[in-house]
Amino acid sequence: MIRPGACVVLGLHSPREKLWGILTSLEPSGVHLRGLDINAFDDWLSAIANGESNIGLTHSFFPMWRVERILLDESLGEIHSMGQLFAKRIGMSVTDYLGFGSEESIS
């Protein structure tokens, strides 16, 4: 389900952007996301895996008028989700890495 704590891909318009991250809040006014541009995901993951300083994820709010779609970050057959790629490469879930041990710590 798409709810706080889920890894999502957020599609925005005006300007067009695609972001990946942890959904922290979904409200009628908009979406709170701790994430990054989807094009930076591989660089972010590589920096963490190599023990380098990294760009990190930012806390952002996007008004609902900009939100085109919210997709749950899910695997598709043998294609892993981005969250699964993170866990496979880093050895822990992205929520554990970011200190979101439970939904209570997200809201």
For 3-56, how does the pLDDT look when each residue is reduced to its tens digit (9 = 90+)? 999 999 999 999 999 999 999 999 999 999 999 999 999 999 999 999 887 778
Domain assignment present for residue 27? The answer is yes
> Is the pLDDT score of 96 beyond 80?
yes
- What does the pLDDT read at residue 48? 93
Q: Is position 2 within any domain? A: no
1 domain residue, yes or no: no
What's the rounded Cα separation, in Å, for the pair 24 and 12? 17
Total domains in the chain come to 1
In the block, tokens 């892993």 appear at 80
40: containing domain: 7-105
Structural domain includes residue 25: yes
Q: How many CB atoms lie within 10 A of CB 25?
A: 14
Unique residue bearing structure tokens 């695609």: 18
- Residue with the larger pLDDT of the pair 98 and 32: 32
